[in-house]
Amino acid sequence: MGSLSKPRDERGQFASPNAVPEGHYTAPTGLLTAKDYLNASTSDPAPFDFCPVFGPGDAIAQRRGQIALLKSRVHTGTGARLQRVIQKAMSGHPVTISVLGGSISACHGAGDDPLSPRCWPSKFFEWWNSVFPHPLSELTNGAARRTDSAYFAYCSNHHLPDETDIVILEFDASDP
């Protein structure tokens, strides 16, 4: 049975618990502050024009309603990881965005080119670059027609780069 031990530096000293492994991105701590954008008020403006969800400026929520939109979300999580990626982008670093999904994400009917400018992943990436411009940011579209989430549960590593900052999943039309 193996034992768990704390990492040590070159002198045999225990590494600091706050030490960051080499090659990992660390963001300055002052760029973003924790805030509940889901329950924002009109007196406190959002940092971007696409925030807050269900707020006074959310045209989709006004058109479809909060209940319908909440039903479309399986798990929203805390948003902490996405906040770190946004903080990275706001710091001027490049971001790698990857998309997995079925026919819609693979651009079926929009030119069948996974990077077609008519396809939603390209439109999203174009928007991302307008908000967080960086020449080294990348988009990888690993979507495949006639596939569902079960396929990607086993084979996603064949469709994604080794390191990616954001993975967007879209399986609406492909999953039973």
More confident: 33 or 167: 167
Confidence tier at 3 by pLDDT (50, 70, 90):
very low
pLDDT at residue 93, as a whole number: 96
Encode 41-68: b = buried (16+ Cβ within 10 Å), e = exposed.
Answer: eeeeebeeeeebbbbeebeebeeeeeee
Q: Read off the pLDDT of residues 14-25 as tens digits, 9 standing for 90 and up.
A: 555 555 445 545
Phi and psi at 84, nearest 5°, equal -65, -40
More confident: 72 or 33: 72
Q: Read off the pLDDT of residues 52-64 as tens digits, 9 standing for 90 and up.
A: 566 666 777 788 8
- Whole-number Cα distances in Å, 118 to 35, 76, 112, 113: 34, 27, 10, 9
pLDDT at residue 87, as a whole number: 92
pLDDT at residue 145, as a whole number: 83
Quick check: pTM over 0.95? Answer: no
